[in-house]
């Protein structure tokens, strides 16, 4: 039996058809909120949790956020954006937007509305639950690790047979457990490398600002 053609016919084709339709949904609105940033993480998460509650984002199936260092990106549906916009103005928060969500990452853009919109929303909702869970306390890293491990394993577990059927993955690593371990190890190394480059850029920026401030004080 030709499993590869069966998968293409009964799995890939319907999914691609659904993805094409999903990508035609209305645009999602995006804000950059500069009062929520890396310099005050605790206050920023408390502020985001308050905005989430006041704007009723628990009822918005598309809302999600990303921490971007100097600001937090918040995205929401067309039904919610006016509430968020009003909240930002009424509370004198520094922000940019509203604007349409234009995704820069290629893989995210390809499955923006069929996969990632829902995935980002579910993760953001989970974080809001953890924000209010007083039992976590000093065990936050353990919760983050445990939930991430379950999410990552579910993705690899659900892809294991499909991957084997097209002649990669399990054929390369020997079994699904080593396949999962090999790819997650590469993700960890890539993330560590990115973190090193990011830290270097921040250090250079801090040194540049220090030099500029030194020149200003000398001139004055």
Q: What is residue 10's predicted lDDT score, i.e. its pLDDT? A: 40
Q: What is residue 48's predicted lDDT score, i.e. its pLDDT? A: 95
Helix (H, G, I), strand (E, B) or coil at 40: coil
Residue of 216, 220, 153, 146 whose CA lies nearest to 184:
153
Please tell me the distance from the alpha carbon of residue 27 to that of residue 78, in angstroms, as a whole number: 7
Q: What is residue 175's predicted lDDT score, i.e. its pLDDT? A: 73
Kind and range of the H or E run holding 69 = none
Give the max Cα distance, the chain: 82
The pTM assigned to this predicted structure is 0.73
The Cα-based distances of 137 to 72, 134, 152, 172 in angstroms read: 23, 6, 24, 42
* Residue of higher predicted confidence among 217 and 5: 217
What's the whole-number mean pLDDT along residues 52-68? 95
DSSP per residue over 97-131, as a string?
A: EEEE----SHHHHHTIIIIIHHHHHHHHHHHHHHH
The CATH architecture annotation of domain 26-132 reads 2-Layer Sandwich (3.30)
Q: What is the DSSP letter of 61?
A: T
Helix segments in 55-175, DSSP class H? 81-90, 106-110, 117-131, 140-165, 170-173
User: Is the pLDDT confidence value at 9 over 90?
Assistant: no
Q: What is the pLDDT of residues 100-141, one digit of tens each?
A: 998 888 999 999 988 999 999 999 999 888 777 766 667 778
What's the whole-number mean pLDDT along residues 15-20? 37
Please tell me the distance from the alpha carbon of residue 180 to that of residue 208, in angstroms, as a whole number: 42
Kind and range of the H or E run holding 200 = helix 176-219
Percent of the chain with pLDDT over 70: 77
CB 63 within 8 A of CB 124: yes
Q: What is residue 201's predicted lDDT score, i.e. its pLDDT? A: 80
Residues in the chain: 220
User: Is the pLDDT confidence value at 153 over 50?
Assistant: yes
* Residue of higher predicted confidence among 210 and 5: 210
Q: What is the pLDDT of residues 164-213, one digit of tens each?
A: 655 555 666 667 777 888 888 988 899 888 888 878 887 888 888 888 87
Residues 6+ apart with CB under 8 A from 160: 169, 170, 176, 179, 180
User: Is the pLDDT confidence value at 44 over 50?
Assistant: yes
Residue of 113, 111, 75, 80 whose CA lies nearest to 95:
75
Domain ranges of the chain: 26-132, 143-219
Q: What is residue 171's predicted lDDT score, i.e. its pLDDT? A: 62
- What token pair was written down for 90? 């009424």
């Amino acid at each position: 039996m030709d499993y590869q053609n069966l998968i293409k016919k009964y799995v890939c084709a319907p999914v691609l058809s659904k993805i094409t339709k999903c990508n035609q949904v209305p645009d999602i609105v995006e804000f950059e909120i500069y009062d929520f940033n890396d310099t005050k993480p605790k206050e920023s998460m408390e502020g985001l949790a308050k905005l989430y509650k006041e704007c009723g984002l628990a009822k918005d199936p598309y809302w999600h956020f990303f921490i971007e260092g100097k600001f937090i990106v918040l995205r929401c549906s067309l039904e919610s954006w006016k509430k968020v916009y009003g909240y930002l103005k009424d509370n004198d928060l520094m922000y940019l937007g509203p604007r349409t969500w234009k995704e820069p990452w290629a893989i995210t853009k390809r499955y923006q509305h069929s996969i990632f919109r829902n995935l980002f929303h579910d993760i953001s909702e989970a974080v809001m639950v953890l924000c209010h869970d007083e039992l976590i306390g000093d065990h936050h890293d353990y919760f983050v690790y445990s939930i991430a491990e379950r999410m990552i394993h579910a993705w690899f577990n659900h892809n294991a047979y499909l991957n084997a059927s097209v002649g990669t993955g399990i054929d390369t690593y020997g079994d699904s457990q080593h396949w999962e371990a090999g790819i997650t190890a590469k993700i960890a190394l890539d993330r560590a490398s990115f973190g090193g480059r990011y830290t270097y850029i921040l250090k250079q920026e801090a040194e540049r600002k220090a030099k500029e401030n030194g020149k200003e004080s000398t001139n004055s």
